[in-house]
């Protein structure tokens, strides 16, 4: 995971410093890139974080897909449990206030939409 990402990022950084004939950057390109915060003809920043992103993407996805789904399902059940009695109380109050059914129809429909 993290160790292999570190090693890959270090290997990538070392590649930039070798001679042009060995696949490295020309000294002027290297200088221009470092003077421009790592972005010129290449983006050193992206190349350095790519192994890290690759290493954490599975864990990140798992946390946000399964973990978030579970959390949102729990929240939904909690909101539904709190809204149902409120909605029932509201409908009862509207009925006791003799509000016509035509006026409360949309409020009544909200329960089926939300819950």
Q: What is the mean pLDDT of the chain?
A: 88
Does 82 or 36 have the greater pLDDT score?
A: 36
Going by C-alpha positions, the residue among 18, 74, 16, 94 that lies closest to residue 48 is 16
**Residue 46's pLDDT band (boundaries 50, 70, 90)?**
very high
Whether this prediction's pTM lies above 0.85 is answered by no
43: tokens are 């983006």
- Overall average pLDDT of the 90-109 stretch: 84
Collapsing DSSP to helix, strand or coil, 98 comes out as coil
Q: Is the pLDDT of residue 34 over 90?
A: yes
């Amino acid at each position: 995971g993290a160790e292999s990402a570190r090693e890959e990022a270090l290997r990538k950084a070392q590649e930039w410093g070798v001679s042009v004939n060995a696949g490295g950057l020309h000294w002027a390109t290297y200088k221009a890139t470092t003077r421009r915060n790592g972005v010129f003809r290449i983006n050193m920043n992206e190349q350095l974080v790519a192994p890290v992103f690759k290493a954490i993407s599975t864990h990140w996805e798992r946390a946000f897909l399964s973990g978030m789904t579970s959390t949102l399902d729990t929240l939904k059940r909690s909101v539904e449990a709190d809204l149902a009695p409120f909605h029932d109380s509201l409908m009862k109050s509207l009925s006791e206030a003799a509000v016509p059914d035509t006026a409360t129809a949309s409020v009544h429909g909200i329960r089926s939409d939300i819950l």
